[in-house]
Structure 1
């Protein structure tokens, strides 16, 4: 390198994981261009940690206390200020990698953070319409100017103080192993969001109970062209509308003093 050239910017990839042995390998492979990979694991019982070590990642253990908190902890452990944050079910596509490297070679001079589209596989088909795409996410940023901020631990989002630029290329996403997993995950997220909204004083109304799920389906499947993704788009739109229904019902129950989960009895070892 010429002595007059500025030093190349270095990037740390940051991943949080729990029992992701079947998926994290491909994620790590797609991050080989990064200068460091940090994996924060929540005491996985499968081979997640071994696979991460084999890929050369720096692995840390931390008890899970929320998605936002876990991701913020991960970027705080990174060796470099520019961080690229992924989940274990995501991969950097070739086109996105080229865009990131080009921005890096320019010294990340035009922004404090970069967003890009996320392309999700839904049981054998990538969804390119509706509420599923482009689903732009801010995942590459200078931690000195932002991070995983706020109090919401679910549907967390990074933010930065400064310009945000959109890069070309897709972040490839494999979110669900099965429909059963999606439904369980959706219910869990609905509960967490209802509890978050309730704590902030938000309230459900009869109108929201009736209209919000219908609007979510209509907007995604019809107005945004989800029908163009065939039966995959139809099922996806129904499940997402059901998420809104569950969240609103749970918020309604909470504001009327009713529990949304079954209290665990002492010495109960049944998994949640």
Structure 2
């Protein structure tokens, strides 16, 4: 028999997107949704779609995803977000590997393609944005202590599959700005907890490098206006992270953390 797969999804107020996400996971043997207290119909929609639904207070993206992995019935786990959809090509690639028993691999990565206000970004920092999302939980999972921009890892070979994971990250421009603020704060808190310091160089150079690397070096300009706006706004998130890190250090009374030209301590935030 083919190796069974559990799909896991974490949710919070995703009633407008969870249906499409779960429909694309119909090839999996189990779909598990871990919800962090939605006030909309997310849990009801998921249950009606046949998913097993658990409720757990949110204490970080990594922790929530790892909890879902641990609660899954099967050892091979496909972890996706509620704003993502597995394409038919990617589903076919996964099923082909499953038919072979996932021989010789501990995990699989594949490209994620983000939709940005009516256009799928195919260049720049946005693509291919490969993610390791299918893995044997006996050899890995959502490890470490980084709760934002979390990554899965495994002990063993990782292969790349054909097909995209479609990503619909923003409901509106205001949603993107709010999400950027949230992520910048969480990244600053992570950096601050590890003793990293805000510097003038990081404030000026990190956003500039992120913009020009994505927009010019990686061809983000080929995505037209969408590519330009995406590069500009995501670069500003990098700037916000440094400002918020500086504010956290000031609040803690660390006067050495002021982003002046003589402060070069710490690693890259």
Q: Per the shorter chain, which TM-score range?
A: over 0.9
In structure 1, distance between residues paired with 2:194 and 2:58: 23
In structure 1, distance between residues paired with 2:38 and 2:248: 32
Partner of 2:139: 145
Deviations 1:86-128 (A, max 9, x none): 1000000011001000010010012100000000000000000
C-alpha deviation, 1:249, in angstroms: 1.1
Between 50-59 and 203-212, report the one with greater CA deviation.
Answer: 203-212
Q: 1:29 aligns with which of 20, 23, 26?
A: 23
C-alpha deviation, 1:258, in angstroms: 6.1
C-alpha deviation, 1:210, in angstroms: 1.1
Q: 1:134 aligns with which of 96, 103, 128?
A: 128
Residue segments in structure 2 that go unaligned for 5+ positions in a row: 254-269
Is 1:70 matched with 2:93?
no
Partner of 1:219: 213
Is 1:57 matched with 2:51?
yes
In structure 2, distance between residues paired with 1:73 and 1:101: 25
Partner of 1:92: 86
| Number of matched pairs | 253
Aligned structure 1 segments of 4 or more residues deviating by more than 3 angstroms:
none
Deviations 1:128-171 (A, max 9, x none): 00000000000000000001011111101100000100000000
In structure 2, distance between residues paired with 1:253 and 1:62: 31
In structure 1, distance between residues paired with 2:217 and 2:45: 43
In structure 1, distance between residues paired with 2:120 and 2:218: 16
Residue segments in structure 1 that go unaligned for 5+ positions in a row: 1-6, 260-272
In structure 1, distance between residues paired with 2:55 and 2:185: 26
Partner of 1:264: none
Q: 2:225 aligns with which of 208, 228, 231?
A: 231
**TM value normalised by structure 2:** 0.93
In structure 1, distance between residues paired with 2:37 and 2:239: 33
Q: 2:149 aligns with which of 127, 148, 155?
A: 155
Deviations 1:216-263 (A, max 9, x none): 10000011000000000000000110011000111122223369xxxx
Partner of 1:167: 161
3-state SS, counterpart of residue 79 of structure 1: coil
Partner of 2:258: none
**TM value normalised by structure 1:** 0.91
RMSD: 1.0
In structure 2, distance between residues paired with 1:34 and 1:102: 13
